Amino acid sequence: MPKDTSAWRQGLRSVSVLAIPIILLVAVVWGLFKGVAVYEEMVEGAKEGFGVALRIMPFLVVMFAALTCFRESGALLLLQTAVRPLLDFIGMPVELLPLAIMRPLSGSGSSGILNEIILHPSSTDTLRYTAAILYGSTETTFYVLAVYFGSVSIRRSRHALAAGLCADAVGMGMAVLLGRLMFS
């Protein structure tokens, strides 16, 4: 591996380790600067979050059951085999298909698939980094529509679905492109 690539990766690791603590610190300092009771607001937000969690639980149970059935039935493996030629043509590793399918449906399900890709001994660094980019570049579109829209009784979500799926497609495409450019 060339020396400049190693320096690039070390720089990325350094920035990624510091990113979230810096964002949290800036948010707290900004809130204090604006005169916001930061701790009290955080506690109030946690109370609201708990209520939302209780309202969305039934939606989650149904979604996880459906996802498990799809995967355990072997349908996912059949789909991978069927679309392999298309994925090879567009340059997307077939190993990313389960993540690309699961990501718009479930955050925890796609997190599990990402974990499998990262920990699998035959996964290359390019595949691992591309999977991580894909995970971070897409949203749980159907989850958001089913759970959050459902919990506040929004029934007409057609345009939100189209916009979310378009954004997911762009995110997936860019993840594959950036993974190849940066880590191949």
Higher per-residue pLDDT: 107 or 166: 166
Mean pLDDT of all residues in 48-66: 78
Higher pLDDT, 183 or 134: 134
Mean per-residue pLDDT for 33-45? Answer: 91
Q: Which of 139, 143, 146 is nearest to 164 (CA)?
A: 139
The pLDDT tens digits of the residues spanning 171-180 come to 999 999 999 8
For residues 123, 127, 129, 130, the Cα torsion angle rounded to the nearest 10 degrees is -150
Closest by CA position to 142, among listed 69, 80, 88, 62: 62
pTM for the whole structure: 0.66
Q: Compute the distance between CA of residue 176 and CA of residue 171 in angstroms, rounded to an integer.
A: 9
| pLDDT > 90? residue 51 | no
Q: Is the pLDDT of residue 182 over 60?
A: yes
Contacts of 171 (CB under 8 A, 6+ apart): 134, 137, 138, 139
Q: Is the pLDDT of residue 93 over 90?
A: yes
Distance (Å, rounded) from C-alpha 127 to C-alpha 109?
Answer: 18
pLDDT (0 to 100) of residue 167: 94
If you ran DSSP here, which 8-state letter would residue 140 be given? -
Tens digits of residue pLDDT in 121-173: 999 999 999 999 999 999 988 888 877 787 777 777 778 889 999 999 999 99
| pLDDT for residue 4 | 61
Length of the chain: 184
Terminal-residue alpha carbon distance, the chain: 11
Confidence of residue 53 (pLDDT cuts 50, 70, 90): confident
Q: How confident is the model at residue 1 (pLDDT cuts 50, 70, 90)?
A: very low
Task: Say whether pLDDT at 2 is over 60.
Answer: no
Q: Which residues fall within 8 angstroms of residue 179, CB to CB, at 6 or more apart?
A: 126, 127, 129, 130, 133, 134
The residues, any chain, with a CB within 8 Å of residue 144's CB and separated by 6 or more, are: 164
